[in-house]
Structure 1
Amino acid sequence: MNDFDGKVALVTGTTGIGEATARRLAEGGAAIIALGIDAGANAMLQAELNRAGAAALVQATDVSVPDQVEKAIAAGVQEFGGLDVIVNSAAVHPYGTATTTDFETWNRAMSVNVGSIYLTARFGIPEMIKRGGGAIVNVASVQGTACQENVAAYATTKGAIHTLTRSLALDYARQGIRVNSVSPGSVRTPILERAARADDPNADIEAAFRRFGEAHPLGRIGEPEEVAELIAFLCSSKASFCTGSDYRIDGGLLAGIGVR
């Protein structure tokens, strides 16, 4: 695969979908700038990309903090010469209703899940314009369309991502920048593992994943690599007429809401 030869890609989040996307874009020839807050995950991803012979700079970054995002993007651009692709995958997933979610938790969800997309756009888009355009993909969720109970902050942020995606797409289309989002259903990630252990810290994770998968018409949960492949398509020249849209990758989950 050489669909990203000569491209520089910024990916936020170094576990789950972010990790899989960084690997997929690197396999396609992209130089990777990866930002994550988990030191262990950062080190593992850096080592994995190094072993694969990829050009990569994995940086410890809280993507909700403007100065950290600005410095990380500047370091990546200095290292690799520019920026062509942004994939926003970093997220937190708090549980709670409007009356049980404290203000700090609410603000943290907003600043990580939505604010980080604003920050990578603010500091990354000027670099993309210098290269003549590029592509941005934001990882949203089916919960931005049809949410569950007890996830008020998370679902709100994912709905906001859909709206911010459309806004960015309209604002920067004339600069050659395409912006789309993807909305996964249940996917094998650390966030889903935490969901499986929400009521029982000793829960059988694979049994829980099978149970979650039963809600999807395809009968299973998704894999991070499957989402990464869709993201790679939307970042590539093959999706050159795609912008301002959300693409579900949910095993048919929302196709049957209210029917099954």
Structure 2
Amino acid sequence: MSTRFSGKVVLVTGSSNGIGRATAILFAKEGAKVTITGRNAQRLEETKQEILKAGIPEDHVLAIVTDLATEEGQDKLINETIKKFGKLDILYPALPYYAMSKSALDQYTRSAAIDLIQYGVRVNSVSPGAVATGFRQAMGMPAETYEKYTQFLQSHKECIPYGSIGQPIDIAHIIAFLGDRKLSSYIIGQTIVADGGSTLVMGMQAHNMMDILKS
């Protein structure tokens, strides 16, 4: 088991599923003490059990059920993390955001990076493309429709040149890279795009997609 993040404390929000879960598990496997959080207690417990099954000591994991949309929830998360582990080294907010807010997040990443680097805090962001997180199913997309959706993307190189939808662990490895100061200390205020090459071609044809989903 790696000890790359031994002695580090990592907080991963949205860690009850998808990219957040994969990220929390990866950091824990690499030696970090991890705070996981989400609103769904059952799914959060599943994340915790995945971490424990990897041989991580239970006192290296703090699970907090809270709503980060409230100031009280935010305070609870930070305060309980500091109370248990004494510090916080790496924060990854693994919450999904929509396309219309991506430009705002990119600008925030740059602005926050400029403001915080004077305190030794690096700010970067990861912009994933199509990743198999279960998000669309949770939003109500039927399983059959989702299967058609993924098959369409993976069979059309003009959508994803790589030819495959990403997995949560693919994004988790990028996040861990950015959290490793030895490897990424000179990366500041950047947005890392991980989309299998989709933005290189921008070829998703909306009318073709709708035809596939309706068939």
Q: TM-score scaled to structure 1, two decimals? A: 0.71
Task: Using CA pairs under 8 Å that are at least 6 residues apart, name the structure with larger relative contact order, 1 or 2.
Answer: 2
| Gap regions ≥5 residues in structure 1 | 92-112, 114-153
Match of 2:56 among 50, 53, 58: 53
Aligned identity (percent) is 34
CA displacement at 1:60 relative to structure 2: 0.6
Residues 184 and 65 of structure 1: CA distance in aligned 2, closer, same or farther (over 3 Å) = same
Which of 93, 99, 108 is equivalent to 1:88?
Answer: 93
- How far 1:157 sits from its partner (Å)? 2.1
Task: Kindly provide the CA deviation profile for residues 27-56 of structure 1, in whole angstroms up to 9, marking residues without a partner as x.
Answer: 111100111112221111122222332411
The aligned residue for residue 67 of structure 1 is 72
Measured in 2, the distance between the counterparts of 1:247 and 1:202 equals 30
Structure 1 residue 74, shift from structure 2 partner: 0.6
Do the aligned residues in 2 keep the contact of 1:222 with 1:251 (CA within 8 Å)? yes
Contact map agreement 2:29 2:51 (CA 8 A) in 1 = no
Partner of residue 210, structure 1 = 151
Matched AA of 1:240:
S
**In the alignment, what sits opposite 1:193?**
137
Equivalents in 2 of 1:211, 1:62: separation in Å?
Answer: 35
Structure 1 runs of 4+ aligned residues shifted over 6 Å read: none
1:30 maps to a residue whose letter is A
Q: 1:41 to 1:194 in 2, by over 3 A?
A: closer
Query: Across the two proteins, how many residue pairs are aligned to each other?
Result: 196
TM-score w.r.t. the length of structure 2 is 0.85
* CA RMSD across the alignment: 1.9
- Match for residue 122 of structure 2 among 161, 178, 183: 178
Q: How far apart are the structure 2 equivalents of 1:42 and 1:258?
A: 36
CA contact (8 A) 1:217 1:253 kept: yes
Q: Does 1:166 align with 2:93?
A: no
Question: How much has 1:204 moved relative to structure 2?
Answer: 5.4
Secondary structure at the aligned position of 2:12 is classed as strand
**Alpha-carbon distance, 1:192 to partner:** 3.4
